[in-house]
Amino acid sequence: MTRITLLDGGMSRELQRQGATLRQPEWSALALMNEPDTVRAAHAAFIAAGARVIIANSYAVVPFHLGDARFRDQGAALADLAGRLAREAADERPGVRVAGALPPACGSYIPHKFDPEAASGILAVLVRGMEPHVDLWIAETMSSIEEATVTAAAVRGSARPLWISYTLRDDARARQSDMPVLRSGERVADAVRAAIDAGAEAVLFNCSQPEVMEAATRIAAEVIGDRAIPVGVYANAFDDRHDEDGANAVLAGTRADLDPEGYGLWAERWIDAGATLIGGCCGINAPHIKRLDDHLRQRHDLDGD
């Protein structure tokens, strides 16, 4: 049987399910500032559902969400808090690992606005704050190869392993294509090679609709070949949207067909394509992860059993 590691789901919607009040532009960072207990509770819910890797709630701890002044004043403390809350929740159950989220430093889904110099400074703050608490780093929702490589450079020299996760173009045309590309338009095969060259110990795809994940996973598995580098998927449940909005510029709706049962049906396709790290992104909450855990446990060897 294939050995699968179950990841957590989308933090913001789980925070809402736990009773947190979120608003733009702060979004999930608002819970760190005003309701940290809900952050710990969200992590605990994912762990209870079966997740063996949880991702610290640092995604919105960037100037894009906080503003420059507030990030300068509070960014380091919020990053530390995000890592510490995840660590506290993980330590309640042996074997659960904490991933420090290294988000798109200049905004999600907008690779044309990426500023390498500014990003390096932002990421340095996140790394310093979370380093004492995390077991690994995950550069997630990377829209371009440049964004991924600059983010990888931020943890060069860290003793923690690095995972790199790309987001894919997922408009109607992309969902019908067997040649997936990053939101920058760059080829998946080139992005996977770049991730390996940057030192990634796992390559994943996240924050895109489920339909585009299978082909990307197959390409990644082919590029990786015999290397001991796992491939992962954690898709979102968003309705159709425009990349130029940015991932959190507006509050996106979620698809009715991607309820816990519907989302779980996609997992086997990703596993058949070569994925061994499975979780969820925006709109995928703890009941989805519980359904995945139940489904996968019947068919595969789950990490942590």
In CATH, what number is assigned to the domain containing residue 118? 3.20.20.330
Residue 109 CA, chain-centre distance (Å), reads 13
Q: Which tens digits make up the pLDDT trace of 126-176? A: 999 999 999 999 999 999 999 999 999 999 999 999 999 999 999 988 888
Mean pLDDT, the chain, whole residue set = 94
Model pLDDT, residue 252:
63
Range of the domain at 142: 3-302
Integer Cα distance of 14 and 7 in angstroms: 14
Distance CA 82, CA 58 (A): 6
Q: Give yes or no for residue 242 having a pLDDT over 60.
A: no
Q: What pTM, to 2 d.p., does this model score?
A: 0.95
pLDDT value at position 241?
Answer: 57
Site of tokens 């991932």? 247
54 strand-pairing partners: 98
Number of domains composing the chain: 1
Which whole-number Å values give the CA distances from 296 to 207, 210, 291, 300, in the listed order? 21, 17, 8, 6
Q: How far apart are CA 276 and CA 298, in angstroms?
A: 15
Report the pLDDT value the prediction gives residue 7, as an integer from 0 to 100. 98
pLDDT above 60 for 247: no
Q: Which residue matches tokens 């690095």?
A: 162
